[in-house]
């Protein structure tokens, strides 16, 4: 059985592979070349963990400390690039993969912050931001308004719920089981949100002057 | 009387609350849900100080060191969210609040850099970039060209004038008075710029080939 | 003869001046005022090195350690601003300058990472990301999809080839000669790519469901 100390590593590894694939898929229809796609895949998959480690002052960065993470991202991107030229991808593959990456990164982020001795609140914030940051970077680079800011997305909230569960249940369950439960929780809520269309109340402004300005 | 050593803290606190409100207001008409708005509010209000502290290698980051700053941002966002459902916001509220946040962050940034022993030049740069960064992040996340890069905005220049004044007048005035004067200076210049339409000369290219490319 | 230890400094210096000019030129037709242009020039020219130094935990940042870099960026921006009001800029000036900046920053980034004891792989990654980051920031701030992600741009690949050459040839050539060769290599490949239209295969998705979503 792996130790929870190694858990961040494996969760980062899988999350990186998955987000790398979503980075490649986000390039569809944009006429981006092979290496541009590689840049997009690396920024998407390594961006979240990099921002987390910078904020926590945890040097060296994960992908500098261990090049296997880099090769994982590169390998996943190349495989996806090749795969998409020949085979059919299931519909909504991007959404499902993105949900899995979100779940893995959110819990890896929360665990890393707690392992470094930060407070539960900071651990939750780090979980949510690690989970969401990669997708935000991907969306900004491909010229879209980030998905987390769009109304159909019950997205960051899933990470918030899962990371909060993970932090609050510390010591109540066997560590690996807790981590896996929290990851499954995020993934399932997100899947439910996608397929049922459930969402939070939208920001409705009743009182503000709606005359367009700027 | 508060010490100038605490000044950065209080200026950050007020600036965070104000920028958090502007983050929520920037979401109007975008169909962003409650938690998406929270992310936007946090990124807007904490982004500037985070970048400043990363650049100055001043760890832990302000909102990690003191969770009150986080709760301030969250609280201000929730209050704004609720308020806008029921009451009328004065016209141009976003612009006025943004000006106040700019003023507070600019002087907090400059003071923090000087307190850490950096040169006056770096203090001015940090003041300007701390003041502007939050708004830039907010505009990027909501799909707008950042206001600081638009011609109607005499924006970053206000922070530059105020931060330069603050740095040059060190030792000439009582510290708190100087800080408040510099903040008021930035706010007033910005208000004047908004309401009189005053602006810097626009970049006009006379010689360059204007044939569109890319 | 300058030592290779100083090479990063000079390459950064020239790269900063060049990217500062491209930042100003990117503002054409956008009605951006003098100081907005200055912000754009500074973000473009200092952004790449800043991200590199943050990722490598190499503090203080280059432009904090040495204000001459800041003044170089400011000076280059002001000169460009004035120049463009009176004289004709050769067609494609932005593309050629950008290629030179890319070459300088890529090799400076790789050399800095190696000088700090990082592995060859990290040195290549740092070279590519330092070279590309400034342009990405510039494009995001001016509301364009970053050039590195567009199909006509054989861009990041040039930095990759040059940085890889630089890292692999360590010890095989006199250091300064090697650095200059690598810079020239990147610049020439990029020029070739621009003027011959050569590019990598574009990402073509054959199998994926093309029904637009979100």
Question: ipTM value of the model?
Answer: 0.78
Comparing alpha-carbon positions, the chain B residue that sits nearest to A214 is: B152
Chain A nearest CA to C68, separation (Å): 27
Which residues on C lie below 8 Å from A98 (Cβ)?
none
**CB contact (8 A) between residue C32 and residue B201:** no
C-alpha–C-alpha distance, residues A92 and C212, integer Å:
11
- How high is the pLDDT of residue B183? 92
C212 has a pLDDT exceeding 70? no
A211 has a pLDDT exceeding 50? no
Compute the mean pLDDT over every residue in chain A, rounded to the nearest whole number.
81
Chain B nearest CA to C170, separation (Å): 31
Condensed to tens digits (0 to 9), the pLDDT of residues A178-204 reads 888 999 999 998 888 877 766 655 555
C27 vs B101, B115, C90, CA distance in Å?
26, 35, 17
- How high is the pLDDT of residue C174? 84
**CB contact (8 A) between residue C204 and residue A85:** yes
- How high is the pLDDT of residue C31? 67
- CB of A75 closer than 8 Å to CB of A22: no
- How high is the pLDDT of residue B73? 92
Pure H helices in chain A = 4-25, 34-55, 62-65, 67-86, 93-115, 120-141, 156-168, 175-196
Q: What's the rounded mean pLDDT across residues A158-169? A: 91
**CB contact (8 A) between residue A153 and residue B34:** no
Which residues on C lie below 8 Å from B123 (Cβ)?
none
**Interface probe, candidates C43, C64, C75, chain B, greatest B C-beta count within 10 A:** C64
Look-up: residue for tokens 């095989």? C172
Is the C-alpha dihedral spanning C51, C53, C59, C64 positive or negative? negative
- How high is the pLDDT of residue A49? 87
Residues 58-117 of B with CB under 8 A from C: none
A34, A59, A89: residue with CB nearest C208: A89
Q: What's the rounded mean pLDDT across residues B208-212? A: 43
HSE toward the beta carbon, residue A33, CA cutoff 13 A = 17
- How high is the pLDDT of residue C208? 44
- CB of A43 closer than 8 Å to CB of C148: no
Condensed to tens digits (0 to 9), the pLDDT of residues B70-129 reads 999 999 998 988 887 777 677 677 788 888 888 999 999 999 999 898 989 999 989 988
B179 has a pLDDT exceeding 80? yes
Chain C nearest CA to B30, separation (Å): 14
Q: What's the rounded mean pLDDT across residues C127-154? A: 76
Strand partners of residue A202: B33
Q: Domain ranges in chain B?
A: 4-196
Q: Got the DSSP string for A69-114?
A: HHHHHHHHHHHHHHHHHHSPPPTTHHHHHHHHHHHHHHHHHHHHHH
- How high is the pLDDT of residue B157? 82
Residues 6+ apart with CB under 8 A from A178: A166, A169, A170, A172
Condensed to tens digits (0 to 9), the pLDDT of residues A54-113 reads 989 888 888 888 889 899 999 999 898 888 777 767 767 778 888 888 899 999 999 999
Closest C-alpha among B38, B6, B40 to residue B143 = B40
Residues 20-49 of C with CB under 8 A from B: 24-25, 27-40, 42
CA of residue C161 relative to chain centroid, distance:
14
Look-up: residue for tokens 């982020």? A109
A145 touches chain B (CB under 8 A): yes
C9 has a pLDDT exceeding 60? yes
Torsion angle, CA of C167/C169/C173/C176, rounded to 10 degrees?
-20
Q: What's the rounded mean pLDDT across residues A16-24? A: 89
Label residue B213 by pLDDT band (50, 70, 90): very low
**CB contact (8 A) between residue C86 and residue B206:** yes
- CB of B149 closer than 8 Å to CB of B176: no
Q: Which run of H or of E encompasses B95?
A: helix B93-115
- CB of B105 closer than 8 Å to CB of B48: yes
| Residue A32: strand, helix, or coil | coil
B210 has a pLDDT exceeding 60? no
**CB contact (8 A) between residue B151 and residue C87:** no
What is the b/e burial string over B90-126, where b = at least 16 CB atoms within 10 angstroms of the residue's CB?
eeebbbbbbbbbbbbbbbbbbbbbbeeebebbbbbbb
% of residues, chain B, pLDDT over 90: 18
A171 vs A7, A106, A177, CA distance in Å?
16, 19, 11
Label residue B48 by pLDDT band (50, 70, 90): confident
A29, A35, A88: residue with CB nearest C207: A88
């Amino acid at each position: 059985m792996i130790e929870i100390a190694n858990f961040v590593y494996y969760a980062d590894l899988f999350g990186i592979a998955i987000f790398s694939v979503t980075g490649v898929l986000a390039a569809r229809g944009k006429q981006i070349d092979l290496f541009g796609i590689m840049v997009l895949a690396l920024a998407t998959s390594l961006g979240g963990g990099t921002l987390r480690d910078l904020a926590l002052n945890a040097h060296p960065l994960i992908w500098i400390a261990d090049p296997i993470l880099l090769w994982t991202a590169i390998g996943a991107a190349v495989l996806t690039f090749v795969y998409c030229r020949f085979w059919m991808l299931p519909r909504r593959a991007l959404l499902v993969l993105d949900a899995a990456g979100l779940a893995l990164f959110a819990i890896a982020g929360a665990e890393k912050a707690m392992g470094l001795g930060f407070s539960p609140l900071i651990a939750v914030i780090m979980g949510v931001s690690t989970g969401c940051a990669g997708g935000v970077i991907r969306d900004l680079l491909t010229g879209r308004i980030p998905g987390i800011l769009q109304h159909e997305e019950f997205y960051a909230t899933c990470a918030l719920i899962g990371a909060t569960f993970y932090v609050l249940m510390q010591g109540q369950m066997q560590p690996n089981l807790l981590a896996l439960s929290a990851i499954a929780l995020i993934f399932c809520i997100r899947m439910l949100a996608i397929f049922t269309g459930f969402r939070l109340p939208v920001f409705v402004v009743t009182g503000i002057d709606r005359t367009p300005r700027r």
